[in-house]
Amino acid sequence: MQHGVPRWMAAAVAAAVAWLPGAALAAADNALLPRNLSPWGMFLGADIVVKAVMIGLAFASLVTWTVWLAKTIELGRQTGLAKRRLGLLESDTNLAEVEHVSRGDDAVAQIIQSAARETSLSRGIVDDGLKERIALRLERVEAAMSRRIARGTGVLATIGATAPFVGLFGTVWGIMNAFIGISEAHTTNLAVVAPGIAEALLATALGLMAAIPAVVIYNHLARSIAAYRALLGDASAQVLLLVSRQRDTGAFALARAAE
């Protein structure tokens, strides 16, 4: 007995309070709470549609970083080759010698071989028409090589533009399901509402995590590809200079060398 109140009476009061409607509702709310509110736990507790959205966004993020790695390696290799070929073109040599040492499938080698092919087809007739025909061939080679080096970057623009909206769709769907669950539970307790909304907002977070790197990487690759195209333009201009120089000196022997 404490202060004149029997122990059995205190226990009875505590039991009565425990069975009050508010206490019972709080106990039910605690039972509805998920045990794991980590990102992985929220993913496991999400609706099937929201799960599909999250998986799609994770795959899009994986594609983004794969394209970045592949294109960074390819651009580095092709840019290095183009600079070496351009240095060869700028040295004191003629087009026939350059054509013999520039074997390969890189862009500048293709430019040189295309000029040699057109000269061979012209049978050594060097005039303004030959320069125009070579210039047309070089433009086609530049366009083809630029398309090849830019292949795969378009998917980054698509991911950057659509990923936030895909994540927003998952969020809207998840919040809609959360409100349906609230109406079925007949409660507005924040402890019950918050987990469902958190799971839905995770989809938007993943959408932004997929979109932001995609946009940044796309812009970076676009600048690198523009610099690579400038190298190809310099190589084409240098080839035309060699053709013009050898025409003026009468030392154009590429056709016979090709034969």
Q: What percent of the chain has pLDDT over 70?
A: 66
Cα–Cα distance between 143 and 113 in angstroms, integer? 15
Among the ranges given (96-105, 140-149, 172-181, 210-219), the one the predictor scored with the smallest mean pLDDT: 96-105
Report yes or no: 116 and 138 within 8 Å, Cβ to Cβ. Answer: no
Mean pLDDT across the stretch 54-77?
93
Among the ranges given (16-30, 34-48, 54-68, 174-188), the one the predictor scored with the smallest mean pLDDT: 16-30
- Chain Cα centroid distance, residue 12: 66
Per DSSP, the residues of 166-209 read HHHHHHHHHHHHHHHHHHHHT---HHHHHHHHHHHHHHHHHHHH
Q: What is the pLDDT of residue 13?
A: 38
Top mean-pLDDT range of 6-20, 42-56, 161-175, 184-198? 161-175
Interacting residues of 142 by C-beta distance below 8 A, sequence separation 6+? 107, 111, 229, 232, 233, 236
Mean pLDDT across the stretch 11-39?
46
Q: Which residues pair with 5 in a beta bridge?
A: 2
Among 121, 157, 152, which residue's Cα sits nearest to residue 136?
Answer: 121
- Whether residue 258 is predicted with pLDDT greater than 50 in this model: the reply is no
Q: What is the pLDDT of residue 257?
A: 42
Among 169, 177, 214, which residue's Cα sits nearest to residue 195?
Answer: 177
- Whether residue 14 is predicted with pLDDT greater than 50 in this model: the reply is no
**What value does the mean pLDDT of the chain take?**
76
Q: How many CB atoms lie within 10 A of CB 109?
A: 20
